[in-house]
Structure 1
Amino acid sequence: MTPTAPATAGLTWRALTVEDVPLWHDLVRAMEAVDDPSERYTRDDLTDALTDGSWKNPATDSVVGLDENGVARAFGLVEVRPGDTRTVRAFCWGGVHPQWRGRGLGREVIRWQEERAREKVREARCGVPAYARTHTEDHLTDARHLLEHAGFVATRWFVDLTRRLDADHPVPEVTLDGGLRLVPYDAALAEPLRLAHNESFADHWGSEPRAREDWERYTVGGRDFRPAWSFVVLDGDEVAGYTIASAYEQDWAAQGYTEGWTDLLGVRPAWRRRRIAPALLVASMRAFAADGIERAGLGVDTENGSGALALYTRLGYEPERRSIAYVKDL
């Protein structure tokens, strides 16, 4: 059963295609100019969002509203990633052109997304709890009110942190204890890192095991991934911890500074409390600085029980932005 298309006077609704990426990107850029989000999207990013993954089907999992001139005014996507075993998560992303807000389009997009999310959960046939999930930034109060009106609940708060890498903010020394080795990322470690990640994040809110295809496409195979900024701590041949870092250059102009971003930092339970996490972060900081990058950045769940936020603060990271995960049980 196909979800009922949004019904809004003046717009024609259909699924997105790759050929729509330029007009879709114009819409996203118009939203970014007003909303000032932390993440900016390139055309390549949007193409990936539609098609990069065997689990993606834009014909059923996307919608765009076009005005009489063929200009994109609203869109919505729903994605259920492979690998979800404990909870099926239907990730929703969408938006409305600033000039078309206040006409009910946002409500229609969210309604369509929820219907499609429920269908995708049924298709997954996992027999486990499921929810629709979306993220919005703390300062976007209209978006927050819209989600809350649709029954989504603010469930988790996240903070982006940044750390200067100039001479006034020296990178500290961190020494690992005997037997542990810090080495640069190597492609031969891609699969051991995925398995280490799944173990390290098993007790984190909202985390599910990463499937191999997802990991290879979006983590160690993504265009923004920087192997030279990413490191692994080994205990013999065992992966004890790792950091994955990227360069999101499309964000730098709006930020006003260049930044090396730590996408993932994980330490397996048996190796925690051995200074592995700070050693990995410091190694990435030095690599960022060596390439002339001005700041190090990362994001954290403020309710993370591992003490991550306190660690980052001790290392000199400072809060920059806040965002909220909104969830609706399905």
Structure 2
Amino acid sequence: MHEEPIHVEHVEAWADLTNALAVSDATDEFYETEDLLEELGEPGVDPEHDTVGLWDRGAMVGFGQLRLGAQLRDGRGRISIGGGISPEYRRKGHGRKIMDALELRATQKMAERFPGIDFTIDVWGNSPGHSAGLMALARGYEPARYFQDMAVGPGNFCPSGPPGAIPESARLLSYSPRIAEIVRLLDNEAFADHWGSTPKSVEEWEATTGARSFRSNYSMVLLEDRGSEAEPRALCYVLSAEWISKELYISRVGTSRSDRGHGYAAWVLSAVVSAAFEAGYTKVDLSVDVQSPTGATGLYERLGFKTVRQGIMYRKIAAAG
């Protein structure tokens, strides 16, 4: 048994482990090797120091990875730590060793990037009662937010039509690099009042929308043309990805804070989901913060989405190193 950073040559074993965990923990989070290669190359990620792989007899049996948001939120840095341990290796101290290494790395990385700044560490605890959450509690983390995964199939989908009032100059179009910066700025504004979010840098946005899993043809933007004197303005957008063939994942839904309450999100999301089902997709799913300030859960329920699993994000506040 030994630990070492996750290198490019390890991604196949890493994919085998993550996909086995998707089955054993019923998370439905399946990844191809190409997806994990992209994770190693994400902006700001240093695989040599930000990842840990646990190996036994040539097989990866556990892993951990750390991410630091490129910008501060509420005067703090935000670290997220993810990972997993094969069920047969749990409750033997392996997860604790990985967390020890990554929490130490969190302090070091914050000191390098944002010296003297406090930070939070978020850890995904999976479903209530899962060993990951129990370990987080034992390490001083507290339940901070509850999320639920929701899904809808073609037979249960209840699409919403166009809102009664749409600016005459607004049009619905597919996402493209031409409007990337407009949508990025709206994303940062729309999620500024959402728990756990940090503003996305240009590099982070390009990594997200340039990923192998991103589906621009099922990502739509309601764009308002403001004439030759001003840039167009994005009112609402829906971004999608695909990790499992013919299952579309809604990764972002955002509306300008001044345009909330007009029904834009329901309409744009309906257009995306309808297009997916017409193209032969068998399921559309998403994850939502139960306490979302926009009341997103109710919106998704009206469109026919049903909760399929729940999970908890645990958080610890750490002082600058």
Query: Structure 2 length normalisation: TM-score?
Result: 0.90
Alpha-carbon distance in 2 for matches of 1:176, 1:189: 25
Aligned residue identity for 1:60: H
Q: Is the counterpart of residue 121 in structure 1 residue 110 in structure 2?
A: yes
How far did 1:28 drift? Answer: 2.6
Q: Is the counterpart of residue 328 in structure 1 residue 308 in structure 2?
A: no
- Map of 2:26 onto structure 1: 36
Alpha-carbon spacing, 1:119–1:299, altered in 2? closer, same or farther (3 Å): same
- Map of 1:310 onto structure 2: 298
- Map of 1:5 onto structure 2: none
Please give the root-mean-square deviation of Cα atoms over the aligned residues, in Å: 1.9
Q: How many correspondences in the alignment?
A: 309
Describe the SS at the equivalent of 2:125: strand
Q: Is the counterpart of residue 213 in structure 1 residue 231 in structure 2?
A: no
How far did 1:78 drift? Answer: 1.3
Q: Deviations over 1:180-223 (max 9, x none)?
A: 322222321111100111111111111111000110111x2111
Q: Deviations over 1:137-189 (max 9, x none)?
A: 215522211111111111000111112223x6453423351423222223211
Q: Deviations over 1:215-246 (max 9, x none)?
A: 0111x211111111111112222111111112
Q: Is the counterpart of residue 151 in structure 1 residue 140 in structure 2?
A: yes
How far did 1:83 drift? Answer: 2.7
- Map of 2:55 onto structure 1: 66
Runs (5+) with no aligned partner, structure 2 = 226-231
Alpha-carbon spacing, 1:176–1:125, altered in 2? closer, same or farther (3 Å): same
- Map of 2:229 onto structure 1: none
Q: Is the counterpart of residue 319 in structure 1 residue 307 in structure 2?
A: yes
- Map of 1:83 onto structure 2: 71
Describe the SS at the equivalent of 2:66: strand
Alpha-carbon distance in 1 for matches of 2:62, 2:285: 31
**Identical amino acids, percent of aligned pairs:** 29
- Map of 2:181 onto structure 1: 191
- Map of 2:228 onto structure 1: none
Query: Structure 1 length normalisation: TM-score?
Result: 0.87
1:168-207 mapped onto 2 (5 Å cutoff): 169-179=157-167, 180-207=170-197
Alpha-carbon spacing, 1:299–1:24, altered in 2? closer, same or farther (3 Å): closer
Q: Deviations over 1:3-62 (max 9, x none)?
A: xxxxxxxx2222221112222333333333322223112211222222233x11111112
Match of 1:232 among 210, 221, 240: 221
Aligned residue identity for 1:161: M
Q: Is the counterpart of residue 97 in structure 1 residue 92 in structure 2?
A: no
Runs (5+) with no aligned partner, structure 1 = 1-10, 253-257
